[in-house]
Structure 1
Amino acid sequence: MPRIARVVAIDLPHHITQRGNYQQRVFLDDRDRTQYLSWIQEYSVKYSLSLLVHCLMDNHIHFIAIPHKEDSLARAFNTAHMRYSQYFNKKMKTKGHLWQGRFYSCVLDEPHLITAARYIERNPVRAKIVNKPWQWKWSSAQTHINEGQAAVKPDNLFESIDMARGSWKEYIDSKEDEKTVKAIRAHTLTGRPLGSKAFIEKLEKRFSRRLIALPRGRPWRRQK
C-alpha cells in the first residue's frame, strides 16, 4: 500500500520511526545514544513537541510524540537528525546520508497509543537483546515503571491513556499479538492514522481528505 502525504494532527499522539540508510547502524555506543537523545530533547522543547515513549535500537528509532504546532514533528526530528548525522559522519570520517529518507509517522487514537507504546518498549525483547523491556536502558520503559530515569525525560504518558502506572509493568511484560504488530507497522509505513472508524472519519473531516484505504475502484465521498 503506497505511502500518503504526511498527516500531522496537532495535540494528538503520533508514532514516529526512522531507520539507518540501507539499514546501517546509526548508534555504535552509549555515547552516540546519549548525544542523539540530548538533541531530541533540545529540539522537542524548542519546537513544542511532547515526547511520551521512545526506544533506540542499533539501526532505527521509535517515538510516540504529540505535536503542538503543525511543524513540530518535522522541525524537531529533521533538525535533530541532521545534527546527529553531522556528528556521526565526523566521528566515522565518512560522508553521505545516515538516515533512510524522511521519517515515517502515523496518528494514533487512545487505545492504539497504548498498544503502540507497548510495541515500542518491547522492541529490545523481540530483538532478543533483553528478556524484559525495562532491562533496556535506551527506552522509556524504566521511567514508566518507576525503576530508573531515561536519558531523555518523557512527558507523562499516563495523562494520555486510561491505564495506571502501576499496571504498566505487567502490561509491557505481556506479548502483543502478531495482528497488532502488523497493523502498527503497516499504518506507520503508509502514514494512515491508526484508530477506530469514528476516529479516522473525524480526521477525514478535519483534513478534508481520504485517510481510510478503500478497495480499488471505489470513489471517496467527503464526509459532511
Structure 2
Amino acid sequence: MARYTGPVCRLCRRDGAKLFLKGTRCDTTKCAFERREGPPGQQPPRRGKMTAYGTQLREKQKVKHYYGVLEKQFRLYFEKAERTKGNTGAALLGLLERRLDNVVHRLGFGLSRPQARQLISHGHITVNGRKCTIPSALVRAGDVIRVKNRAESLDIVRAAQADNNKQVPDYLSITESQVPEGIVGRLPSIEDVSIPVDMQLIIELCSR
C-alpha cells in the first residue's frame, strides 16, 4: 500500500493549515506549524501573488494530505463524485469522510488518521462483526465500527480515547459498552468536515 512516509509537519506548513497529522502533539507548543512560520525549505518564500492555478493546487493538496490519500486515489474519488447526482464537491468530501480510517479517527479510536490506518491494517477493527483490514473501505449508514475484543486492541484504543479531546461529529455515535463501539448514524455531509475547504477551487482544477 503506497503512502507518504516523510515528515508530516512539513505538509501542514506547505499547505498553510494545521492538519492534525500527529494527534495530540498538534495541540501542544511542540507543534512545528505554530513554531515555524512560512512553508518549509531553506530558501525564503517567493514574493508576489500566487497564481490561480497555485491557489487551486494548494487547496487540493490540503484535502489530500488531511485525509491521507495519494493523487491516483483522489482522482478516483473525484470521478466517482462526478457520476453522482447533486453537488460534486459535496459528494467528493462525503466519499473522503466515509473512509474507514477517517471514521475510526473521528470516533476517537485513533489519535490521528495514520494511527487509525495502522489499527485497521493490523486487524484491530471490525465492521458489522467482521474484521476489515482495508483503511479505504467506505462505511454506510447503520454500520457498526467496533474494536476487536482482545487485550492488545483494547489497550491501544483506550489509551487513545484517554488522550483524545476531539468531539465526535454528529453523523457518528459511540455506544456505552465495555468494548469501544461506534455507529454510523447517517452519511456525512460537507458540514461534517472539520477543516475549511473551498471545494470550488478543487473542482475547477480537477475538471481541467
Higher RCO, 1 vs 2 (CA within 8 Å, ≥6 residues apart): 1
Using the size of structure 1 for normalisation, the TM-score is 0.25
